[in-house]
Structure 1
Amino acid sequence: MFGNRFEKEFKMIEKALETEQGEKLFRKYITIYVEQVVDKYINDNKIENILREKLIEAGWTHFSLALKKYKERTDLMLQGKNDIFYFNSYFNWYIRQGILEYINLIKNKI
C-alpha cells in the first residue's frame, strides 16, 4: 500500500525503538544520508575550520528523538491523517539542528 521502501524503513524504525541492535542497524542504514547532509551543509556554508567528523557526530545528536517523533508521525500516516514521507526527509531537520547547536557551542567557547 505505501511502497516497499516505506514499509522497510517503518519496520526498521520499530526495531530501532525496541532494541539497541535495531538502532545500530538503522544507524548503519542511514549513515550515508547523514554524511551527505553534513557535506552539503559544509559546502553551502563554506565551513572550513571545523572537522567533518565532528559535524557528522553532531548530526546524530537528536537521532533518538527523531526516531520517536517520526514513529508518532507514521502512526498518523498509516491512519491517512498525514502525508507519507520517508525518515530521511524528516531527519534532515534534526541533523541540521545538531550541526547548528555544535557550531554555536564552539562560537560561544571562543
Structure 2
Amino acid sequence: MAGAEVMQVEVAYARPDRQLILPVEVPKGATIEQAIRLSGILEHFPEIDLEKQAVGIFGKLKKLDTPLREGDRVEIYRPLIADPKEVRKQRAAAGKRMKKGGGDL
C-alpha cells in the first residue's frame, strides 16, 4: 500500500483446536470488514460467515462497517454452542445447584 496512509491492526479468530491472530496493514479509515478480507483469515477458516457471525474490537461487539484505529484487534466470534441461560435452566431442573456455605455439620 505504498503512497497511501496505512495503519497496523490485527485480525483474530479461534476455534477449540486452533487460533490465529494475523497482523494486517490497512488504509487509514478501513472498516472491520475490510481488515478481515485483507487479512486472508477467510482462506484459513472457510467456515467463517460474516453475514451470521458477530465481530468486535477488543471484546466489544461492533458492526462490520465500524472504522478501525491504529493497533485495533478485530475479533471474529464463533456462535455459542449452547445458550448459557438454557444450560442453567437444565441444571436447575435436574436438581443440581451450587452449594452456598453455612450448611449443617
| TM-score above 0.5, yes or no | no
Q: Which has the higher contact order (CA 8 A, sep 6+)?
A: 1
Structure exhibiting the larger radius of gyration computed from Cα positions: 2
Provide TM-score, normalisation by structure 1.
Answer: 0.29
Provide TM-score, normalisation by structure 2.
Answer: 0.30
Higher strand proportion? 2
Higher helix proportion? 1
